[in-house]
């Protein structure tokens, strides 16, 4: 079964991803699966019989909750909705379930319960994204798009750092959006100077205007080559090179400035001083975006089938 997965925790925050997931499932002709996790009761003062009774009660409530949410989504979108109650520690339970029955996409809110009962607030979503290689659509519950308003003519911002790993997210965009209606905006962030280790026993050199111009030109050439391939495949594509120290801040600014409906970003890109999307940048984008974020942790060696496996060789260009 090729399907979309929505993890829920019983909170309104978690449920805010349902409408977007339902809209995507209806558009792509996929089923939807809703899951929640119950943690087995374990305490030295609780007898085995009482623990079993608590677990049975929690399971009954969890199944009833999922069925009620499934009925709402089915009525609105007319799609098949399945449910599953998982047991164990939350990220492990979801991760095992995903590996046993891989979804095409996981749609979830970046916020859930707060306080000691929190479920998907931050750290759990981060852990799943780092462990799993399937694509995620992550939404903030305060956004209108979390209610399912991903338009056919979506504007999608795609930050690239020159690596095939970063480019691999474009294929995930193609799975969500139609090439004859969506618009892709490819962005490359160029640092104002080469990055030096913190605490290096030397003063930073003065910026070299000629080198900077060359790096910007190389970044623009790289984007135009990628855009040309996408245009040949029927996509509408715009390109932009921005000089800035903070890649995450610029991605968020550009997404707002161009009124983008979606940010598509890989969590792994170049290694070493050239890296852009490895870890912290993607984390900051996911946490700061007011629109949904399509995020994927690509497997080693991943590349975009739309673009091909050509590796970026412009070593002078820093993301």
pLDDT band for position 103 (50/70/90)? very high
pLDDT at 20: 92
Choose among 122, 132, 64: nearest CA to 92: 132
pLDDT at 269: 52
pLDDT band for position 15 (50/70/90)? confident
Give me the mean pLDDT over the 273-288 stretch. 68
Give me the mean pLDDT over the 71-82 stretch. 96
pLDDT at 208: 64
Rounded-to-integer distance, Cα 155 and Cα 148, Å:
15
Give me the mean pLDDT over the 293-297 stretch. 94
Give me the mean pLDDT over the 47-62 stretch. 80
Q: Is the pLDDT of residue 187 over 50?
A: yes
Choose among 87, 4, 26: nearest CA to 52: 87
Six token digits for residue 105: 């996409």
pLDDT at 255: 97
pLDDT digits (tens, 9 = 90+) for 199-209: 555 555 555 66
pLDDT band for position 12 (50/70/90)? confident
Between 42 and 263, name the one with better pLDDT: 263
Give me the mean pLDDT over the 244-255 stretch. 94
pLDDT at 145: 55
**HSE-up of residue 190 (Cα within 13 Å, Cβ side):** 23
Between 311 and 123, name the one with better pLDDT: 123
Q: Tokens 């095409």 label which residue?
A: 104
Between 191 and 136, name the one with better pLDDT: 136
pLDDT at 317: 35
Provide the 8-state DSSP code for 150. -
Q: What is the rounded average pLDDT for all residues in the chain?
A: 83
pTM for the full model?
Answer: 0.84
pLDDT at 112: 53
User: What contacts 115, CB < 8 A, 6 or more positions away?
Assistant: none
Share of the chain above pLDDT 90, in %: 52
Give me the mean pLDDT over the 127-152 stretch. 78
pLDDT band for position 109 (50/70/90)? confident
Domains of the chain: 3-147 (3.40.50.620), 155-296 (3.40.50.620)
pLDDT band for position 140 (50/70/90)? confident
Rounded-to-integer distance, Cα 231 and Cα 238, Å:
10
Between 319 and 50, name the one with better pLDDT: 50
Between 268 and 135, name the one with better pLDDT: 135
Six token digits for residue 133: 């290689």
Q: Is the pLDDT of residue 146 over 70?
A: no
């Amino acid at each position: 079964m090729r399907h979309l997965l929505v993890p829920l925790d019983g909170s309104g925050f978690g449920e805010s991803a349902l409408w977007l997931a339902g809209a995507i499932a209806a558009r792509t002709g996929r089923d939807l699966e809703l899951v929640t996790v119950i943690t087995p009761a374990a305490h030295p003062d609780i007898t085995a019989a009482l623990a079993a009774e608590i677990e049975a009660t929690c399971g009954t409530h969890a199944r009833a909750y999922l069925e009620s949410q499934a009925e709402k989504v089915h009525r609105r979108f007319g799609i098949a909705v399945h449910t599953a109650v998982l047991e164990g520690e939350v990220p492990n339970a979801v991760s095992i379930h995903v590996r046993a029955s891989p979804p095409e996409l996981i749609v979830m809110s970046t916020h859930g319960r707060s306080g000691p009962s929190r479920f998907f607030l931050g750290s759990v979503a981060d852990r799943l994204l780092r462990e799993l290689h399937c694509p995620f659509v992550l939404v903030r519950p305060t956004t209108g798009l979390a209610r399912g308003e991903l338009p056919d003519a979506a504007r999608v911002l795609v930050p690239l750092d020159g690596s095939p790993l970063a480019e691999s997210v474009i294929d995930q965009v193609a799975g969500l959006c139609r090439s004859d209606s969506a618009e892709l905006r490819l962005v490359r962030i160029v640092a104002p100077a080469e990055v030096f280790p913190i605490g290096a026993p030397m003063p930073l050199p003065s910026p070299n205007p000629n080198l900077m111009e060359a790096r910007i030109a190389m970044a623009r050439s790289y984007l135009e080559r990628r855009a040309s391939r996408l245009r040949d495949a029927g996509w509408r594509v715009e390109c932009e090179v921005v000089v800035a120290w903070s890649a995450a801040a610029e991605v968020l600014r550009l997404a707002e400035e161009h009124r983008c409906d979606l940010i598509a970003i890989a969590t792994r890109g170049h290694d070493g001083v050239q890296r852009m999307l490895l870890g912290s940048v993607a984390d900051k984008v996911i946490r700061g975006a007011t629109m949904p974020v399509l995020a994927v942790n690509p497997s080693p060696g991943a590349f975009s089938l739309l673009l091909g496996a050509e590796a970026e060789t412009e070593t002078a260009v820093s993301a």
